Amino acid sequence: MAVAALAAVGVASAPSPPTVLRVVLDPGHGGSDPGAIGNGLQEKDLNLEVALRLRDLLDADTADAAGGAAWEVLLTRDGDQSVSLASRVALANAWPADRFLSIHHNGFSSSSANGTETFSFANGTVGADLRDLAQEELLLALGLTDRGTKTANFFVLSQTAMPAALTEAGFMTNPGDMAVIGNDAGLQAEAEALLFALQRHVGAAPYLPGPSSGTYCEAKLNSAGCLPAIGSSALPSLTSPPVTITCEGVPPSTFGLLLWSAQPDALPFFGGTLCIASPLGRFSPVLSTPYAGPCGGLLQTELDPVWLLTQGFSAGSSIYLQWWHRDPALGINPVALSDGLQLVIQP
């Protein structure tokens, strides 16, 4: 079967992926070929920046066991090199890759042309599924005009032996598009959108990996000889139901308070360590409910997505949390402290 025909074989939804999916990221143009030019920017630079950011996100997703999926990533170029279309395809076919994603930005003779469009070689294929999800996520992330999903006989779509898609996130020649994309925040949003599209394509929920979600810092022993331990029912999301933040290992019927900050720290505090930095936020005090033993109390409260938004948190940012509870038996330092908890906010 010809390679061009191979690209069109597939079904409308992606099959179950291997444990690790091999993805080739293809930053279009490069070297002596700048691609589209407009508003003081060259397409080749934006293509590469998005690809590098997406590679880092996929690597972080692989390392973060809390969600997402696992990937091996190969770039057709990792700098300002000239790479032929044939070389890009040959690299992907020889590896061999499971998916191929070519990253581009549009251009036109008129600055009025604008918006986002994404291509595959044919409709009704696995490549078309990746194309459709990439278009959806780019529109959500960038908010530009929807130019639709399309088919095209582009060389990198027709000659790759694996499902492939090609994105045109916006127009280099349109000032409005570049006001959104042509900056650090826009390029990061574009890379994250493509991460979410790839995750959804393999059946995973959109997940933004964090560098170090989990507990850190040192808890302070309470008078019953138990260490209060912080926990979370899930990672907080800006769109999902609230998550529960707990503290175990406290005496029953003990008042506790959950502290939060946007930054971690390690400061002396009531004979223990304050794991979060000023300025501190405070949730309403709660009374621990007993379940067993002298340290069988449980403190719990909820992180609500509406509250996260009102406090200025966004997807990818972190919130740092720590519980304390009153413990008069500790004498001059009547406070016991849990360890700290970093949670990366999800979309």
Residues 156 and 192 both lie in one domain: yes
The CATH number assigned to the domain holding 9 equals: 3.40.630.40
- pLDDT (tens digit, 9 = 90+) per residue, 214-240? 888 999 988 888 899 999 998 898 988
The pLDDT assigned to 241 comes to 92
The pLDDT assigned to 211 comes to 61
> Is residue 322 classed as helix, strand or coil in its secondary structure?
strand
Using the CB atoms, write b or e for 220-259: b if 16+ within 10 Å: bbbebebbbbbbbeebbbeeeebbebbbbbbbbebebbbb
Average pLDDT over residues 251-256: 88
Residue 100 domain flag? yes
Cα separation, 329 vs 318, whole angstroms:
34
Residues 183 and 267 both lie in one domain: no
Structure tokens at 153: 């006989």
Cα separation, 122 vs 144, whole angstroms:
24
Residues 147 and 97 both lie in one domain: yes
Q: Catalytic residue numbers?
A: 168
Residues 32 and 160 both lie in one domain: yes
Which of 174, 201, 228 represents a domain boundary (last residue)?
201
Give the confidence band of 41 by pLDDT, cuts at 50, 70, 90: very high
Q: Which of 244, 255, 228 is nearest to 304 (CA)?
A: 244
Pairing assessment for the beta strands 318-326 and 255-261 based on DSSP bridges = antiparallel
Structure tokens at 207: 């997940």
- pLDDT (tens digit, 9 = 90+) per residue, 133-150? 999 999 999 999 999 999
3-state helix, strand, coil split of the chain in percent (to 5) is 25, 35, 40
Average pLDDT over residues 258-280: 92
| Domain total of the chain | 2
The CATH number assigned to the domain holding 272 equals: 2.60.40.10
Give the residue numbers spanning the domain of 62: 3-201
Give the confidence band of 317 by pLDDT, cuts at 50, 70, 90: confident
Cα separation, 279 vs 285, whole angstroms:
18
Structure tokens at 273: 């360590």
Residues 20 and 161 both lie in one domain: yes
Res 242 pLDDT > 60: yes
Instruction: Find the helix packing angle between 126-142 and 184-201, rounded to 10°.
Output: 150
Give the confidence band of 273 by pLDDT, cuts at 50, 70, 90: very high
- pLDDT (tens digit, 9 = 90+) per residue, 165-207? 999 999 999 999 999 999 998 999 999 999 999 999 999 989 8
The pLDDT assigned to 235 comes to 87
Residues 156 and 266 both lie in one domain: no
Residue 267 domain flag? yes
Residues 260 and 182 both lie in one domain: no
Residues 229 and 183 both lie in one domain: no
Q: Which of 253, 239, 256, 257 is nearest to 313 (CA)?
A: 239
Residues 101 and 249 both lie in one domain: no
Give the confidence band of 18 by pLDDT, cuts at 50, 70, 90: low
Residue 209 domain flag? no
Average pLDDT over residues 102-109: 98
Q: Which of 328, 322, 304, 338 is nearest to 253 (CA)?
A: 328
Residue 207 domain flag? no
What's the mean per-residue pLDDT of the chain?
Answer: 91
Which of 177, 201, 225 represents a domain boundary (last residue)?
201
Residue 206 domain flag? no
Residues 184 and 242 both lie in one domain: no
Q: 10 or 77, which is more confident? A: 77
